[in-house]
Amino acid sequence: MRSYSLIAPAKINLYLEIIGDRPDNYHELAMILQSISLADQIDIRAIRIETIIIRCEHPLVPPDLGNIAYRAAYLLSQEFPDALARYGGIEITIHKNIPVAAGLAGGSANAAAVLVGLDLMWELGLTQGELQQLGAKLGSDVPFCVSGGTALATGRGEILSPLPNLNHLYVVLAKYKDISISTPWAYRTYRQKLAHTYISDSESQENSRQRVNSGPMVSAIAHRDNIEIGKLLHNDLEKIVLPEYPQLLKLREAFASQSVLGTMMSGSGPTIFALTESQAQAEEVEAAVKGEMANPNLEFWIAELNSNGITVAN
Ligand code: C5P
């Protein structure tokens, strides 16, 4: 039986607006999500014993139900018990390049890769929509990670409308090794501090979604207006995370003082990214910010924006 290697790209948020509350305790969001070339590799193979084994050298990636990639394999084994009986257990090896708990959807991308890989290995013939529906049971970012590219994401983040791709742009990412941020903490604190700004009736929520859908960022993306895209980067969670972590604010300011299109925190952080128009410009910005911050705990990556969801590497 075949084994599969899958490439699982990270994502950044070009836009994240918190519209209001939802009955399921999640937040109603309007986001613009973008996949990038920084990616993990996930190898999947069948094993004789009917169990799920996760292998990963990264110390922060758990080998059990604490790992969303494990939960993805478990979910499919529950949904398709005949396939599990026919093909045996699953060994998943995660080669981590995407930093963990960084606001880059690394775990969600791994889960999406397990769904796509098991669909192939077990010959389930699921459509992309079916894979995304299963992904939504695992986490709000998983459906996007299946299809990737540039997309408007509403609802919890699982309702996706594709946008024109931005493959011509580059991004410099920076993350402090010693800062990890819990997404539930960021949203919980947002609710504690800013619930008075929430829109709760469904008609007003729909108006807010429409405002983003036909708004200036979507228009700038459609026109490939790089300057406008840079200016319109937005993330409501910065209001919570940056005051709590002054180093991140300083890092963001260091990026903003360079010749970049724009800079922003991704997701619930702590990764800060800056958009540039070329790889050379990205390298210059990285060197300048590295020099200015002079902190051995600060790690950098350069990536291209791309239109890839989960792809098969072999
Ligand atoms: O869906 P996911 O497990 O990735 O979400 C992580 C946490 O982020 C949730 O437990 C919730 O606290 C918060 N969240 C939210 N509203 C969303 C997405 C996530 O409040 N739309």
Ligand 1, atom 20: nearest CA belongs to which residue? Answer: 26
pTM for this entry: 0.97
Chain segment 235-277, per-residue pLDDT in tens:
999 999 999 999 999 999 999 999 999 999 999 999 999 999 9
Q: Which of 11, 40, 43, 175 is catalytic?
A: 11
In the reported structure, the alpha carbon of residue 268 is separated from the centroid of ligand 1 by a whole-number distance in angstroms of: 10
Atom of ligand 1 nearest to the CA of 29: 21
pLDDT surpasses 80 at 314: no
Nearest CA to ligand 1 atom 15: 26
**Is pLDDT above 80 for 1?**
no
Q: For the structural domain made of 3-166, what CATH number should be given?
A: 3.30.230.10
Find the 183 Cα to ligand 1 centroid distance in Å: 7
Provide residues with CB under 6 Å of ligand 1: 26-27, 29, 139-141, 156-157, 183-184, 187
CATH architecture of the domain covering 170-304: 2-Layer Sandwich (3.30)
- At residue 63 the predicted structure's pLDDT band, cuts being 50, 70 and 90, is very high
Whether pLDDT at 190 is above 80 = yes
Predicted confidence band at 200 (pLDDT cuts at 50, 70, 90)?
Answer: confident
Query: How many whole angstroms separate alpha carbon 23 and alpha carbon 172?
Result: 37
Q: Is 231 a catalytic residue?
A: no
* Rounded CA separation 4/73 (Å): 14
Residue ranges of domains in the chain:
3-166, 170-304
Query: Active site includes 141?
Result: yes
